[in-house]
Amino acid sequence: MTNSKMNVEHPRSRPWNDPKVRTLAFQTIAIAAVFWFGWALFQNTLNNMESRGISTGFGFLDQSAGFGIIMSLIPYDATMSYGRTFWVGLLNTLLVSAMGVVTATVLGFIIGVARLSSNWVVSKLALVYVETIRNIPLLLQIFFWYFAVLRSLPSPRMSVDMGGLVFLNNRGLYLPDPIAEPGFGWVTAAAVIAITATVVMQRWAKKRQLKTGQLFPSFRVGLAVVVGLPLLAYLATGGPVSWEIPALQGFNFGGGITIIPELAALWVALSLYTASFIAEIVRSGILSVSHGQTEAAGALGLRSGLTLRLVVIPQAMRVIIPPLTSQYLNLVKNSSLATAIGYPDLVAVFMGTTLNQTGQAVEVVAITMAVYLTISLVISFFMNIYNRAVALQER
Amino acid sequence: MKKRTSLAAITALTGAMLASNAMAATTLESVKEKGHVQCGVTSGLPGFSQPDEKGSWTGIDVDTCRAVAAAVFGSGQSAEFTPLTAKERFTALQSGEIDVLTRNTTWTLTRDTSLGLNFTGVNYYDGQGFLVNKKLGVDMASQLDGATVCIQAGTTTELNLADYFRTKGMKFNPIVFDTSEQTVQGFAAGRCDMLTSDRSQLAALRSKLNDPSSAKILPETISKEPLGPVVRQGDDQWFNVVKWALFVQINAEELGITQANVDDMKKSDNPSIQRLLGTTGDMGEKLGLSADFGYNIIKQVGNYGEMYNRNVGPGTPLDLERGINALWTEGGIMYAPPVR
């Protein structure tokens, strides 16, 4: 009632005096201006390139590339297209990033915990590691690992021979390549069953613990199942795997799986470098959990290992995850330093050779930037989901 | 208030950008205005372009560009140099960062067309070769099946290598580095069995090894690599200036005009020499340059043969014979249209 009365007293306010309308109008104008700006940039670039006789468009992706790439996760040879070189480079980038993320996380957690160890030697060693590694530029570390490792390794003809199966020389690490033969499906099936069973068992053990308080050694049993069942299947089907063993052919080894030194050096450098940052993040996370929590756990009779695993780490995770995400993003972007030591990642292959041979800089750079953006956004997306899962539940 | 300011800023910025594109002067005008020619060169390749101990640039590519500066300004010192990697060079020229690219760049159809660039001529005829470690015991390129090759990114060499091995039905593993410096390091560290590059460079790169006698250059030449200056498309006047600066040097060698005798030659009765040095005719005017631009080039930089011998010829660290780079009158293929 009062409201309608007030409206009557103030005859219709003008729309441009209405704050809602004004906000909306300003926002629309701002967005329109941004879009117009982007469009003008795009058109301007196109016009300028046309007037200078530089060819544009994405047609080059179908042309034959004509150059070789040392390492590819998918079949590739010089007769394939420039588009194919994009995928080769992208997969190599993803490979080294994924390997780096895993090792950096594991190493970072170990060092971060070691840094807080009550053992003086252990904590000081961790301190020295962190302060040394994170204060030396990554590019120098990559060079160090690349050239230090290369120079200390023998030439292919004098390889380090490990049981006639594994060979190490300055061209890389050569491992036997397992080749699946008929019947291998049983082993795969056994592995899938074992993993499913372990997950089910873990849930059951947790439920039982909540109900009765009894512990079940689910980790040890799970490990036994996951390793044992496929092994049994492997033996039962008569070992349906043959091994392709690397052998010296001419200058180099052929056959088997090769880990090239460029990949190894980049992987080691990225892992060590990022681990030093992750260690500090882990330390800050653990320190953020109040000491009272540890004391309470001790009072309940939990051993220190269990206290760390069940009480401290879960609470530390909510502090750790957001900065950890940016370290992962950094690692992926840092992997583009690969080009300095000749590891064929996306930047080296696609933004390097392909860009140069085709001369289509604008297109190639745009694609490459879009790819890094996409990779980073995907990582952020999943880390945010995980973050929500471990975040403090406010009730 | 804040919103309005940022909007105004965006509009002003865009307006400025669009406007700045509308007025593009010719390259010759803009070069004259800034007072020097900006040349793109390598970041250090002996004989072609590298800074000497005093920090001034030397090399056959450097002199080729100094000749352009001499033609425009009358002084070879009016050239400034931008070191570029193989990957950066075309973008630097396209974007207008440099006026002319003299960076031992191979003339190919693709580069001449779809990059929006034009090659003005050839200042060195080269070909691709192999540098191998002596320990391998290899005498011919055909024995290189399965070899690992160190190579510089963004070069025609990368494509030639793949073509060569494919046509021979052989396999290879390319290790692609960003700079020639890293390529040599990779080779020295034993990462590769061989290094491939233009033959003129192999000797220079070998000299950078700790033990140069541990490597040798194979006899094969697997490609044609005509190296020359490059300019942007769409500016014919500048294209002509760069093209004729080199042609004048080649013609001068043919006519026997050298840096030492150029002043005496001015009194010559030979009409060809008179036209080239600008004592008669209006050759300079036709290019938009001063009448004595030819005289300035020879006085400042010398003729083609002098430029060659000073930088890469016998007695220099590269110690390269003239070979096909000799004048057409002396069994080579260096040949320039007449100044007439």
The alpha carbon of residue B47 is apart from the nearest alpha carbon of chain A, in Å, by 24
Whether A156 and A24 map to the same domain: the answer is: no
Residue A70 inside a domain? The answer is no
Strands B79-83 and B37-41, bridge-based pairing = parallel
Whether A204 and A289 map to the same domain: the answer is: no
Whether A266 and A345 map to the same domain: the answer is: yes
Residue A240 inside a domain? The answer is yes
Q: How many domains are contained in chain A?
A: 3
Residue A74 inside a domain? The answer is no
Residue of B nearest to A71 (CA): B173
What DSSP letter does each residue of A362-379 carry, written as one string? HHHHHHHHHHHHHHHHHH
The alpha carbon of residue A83 is apart from the nearest alpha carbon of chain B, in Å, by 16
Whether A113 and A197 map to the same domain: the answer is: no
Residue A356 inside a domain? The answer is yes
Asked if B168 has any chain A CB less than 8 Å from its own CB, the reply is no
Tokens of B52: 């000497």
Among A188, A218, A244, the domain boundary falls at: A244
The Cα B93–Cα B316 span in angstroms is 30
| Domain span holding position A232 | 177-244
- Binary contact (B153, A254; C-beta < 8 A): no
What is the pLDDT at residue A12? 64
Domains by residue range for chain B, with CATH = 27-125+227-330 (3.40.190.10), 128-223 (3.40.190.10)
pLDDT tens-digit profile of A247-300?
887 777 877 788 889 999 999 999 999 999 999 999 999 999 998 998 999 999
Among partner residues A41, A251, A342, which is closest to B147 by beta-carbon distance? Answer: A251
Tokens of A379: 């990582």
- Binary contact (A361, B18; C-beta < 8 A): no
Residue A57 inside a domain? The answer is no
Residue A94 inside a domain? The answer is yes
Whether A258 and A155 map to the same domain: the answer is: yes
Whether A221 and A256 map to the same domain: the answer is: no
Whether A93 and A165 map to the same domain: the answer is: yes
A377: alpha, beta or left? (left if phi > 0; alpha if psi -120 to 50)? alpha
Here the CATH number for the domain that contains residue A302 is 1.10.3720.10
pLDDT over 70, % of chain A? 96
| B36 confidence band (pLDDT: 50, 70, 90) | very high
Residue A62 inside a domain? The answer is no
Asked if B147 has any chain A CB less than 8 Å from its own CB, the reply is yes
Whether A157 and A27 map to the same domain: the answer is: no
Do residues A289 and A312 lie in contact, with contact meaning Cβ atoms separated by under 8 Å?
Answer: yes
Whether A254 and A379 map to the same domain: the answer is: yes
Tell me the pLDDT of chain A averaged across its residues: 87
Among A216, A244, A272, the domain boundary falls at: A244
Rounded average pLDDT over B277-301: 93
The alpha carbon of residue B114 is apart from the nearest alpha carbon of chain A, in Å, by 5
What would you measure as the largest C-alpha separation in chain B, in angstroms?
Answer: 78
Asked if B209 has any chain A CB less than 8 Å from its own CB, the reply is no
Phi, psi of A103 (to 5 degrees): -70, -40
Phi, psi of B40 (to 5 degrees): -90, 125
- Binary contact (A170, B10; C-beta < 8 A): no
What is this model's ipTM?
A: 0.76
Tell me the pLDDT of chain B averaged across its residues: 88
Whether A312 and A325 map to the same domain: the answer is: yes
Whether A234 and A260 map to the same domain: the answer is: no
Whether A273 and A359 map to the same domain: the answer is: yes
Note down pLDDT in tens along chain A; length 395 residues: 445 545 555 556 777 788 888 889 999 999 999 999 999 998 888 888 887 777 788 888 998 888 889 888 899 988 899 999 999 999 999 999 999 999 999 999 999 999 998 899 999 999 999 999 999 999 999 999 998 888 788 888 788 888 888 888 888 888 888 887 777 888 888 889 999 999 998 899 888 888 887 877 878 888 888 888 888 888 887 777 778 888 887 777 877 788 889 999 999 999 999 999 999 999 999 999 998 998 999 999 988 888 888 888 888 988 899 999 999 999 999 999 998 888 999 999 998 888 888 888 888 999 999 999 999 999 999 999 988 888 777 66
User: In a 3-state reduction of DSSP, which class is residue A175?
Assistant: strand
pLDDT tens-digit profile of B122-137?
999 999 999 998 888 8
Who's near A71: CB < 8 A, 6+ residues apart? A92, A258, A260, A262, A263, A343, A344
Residue A64 inside a domain? The answer is no
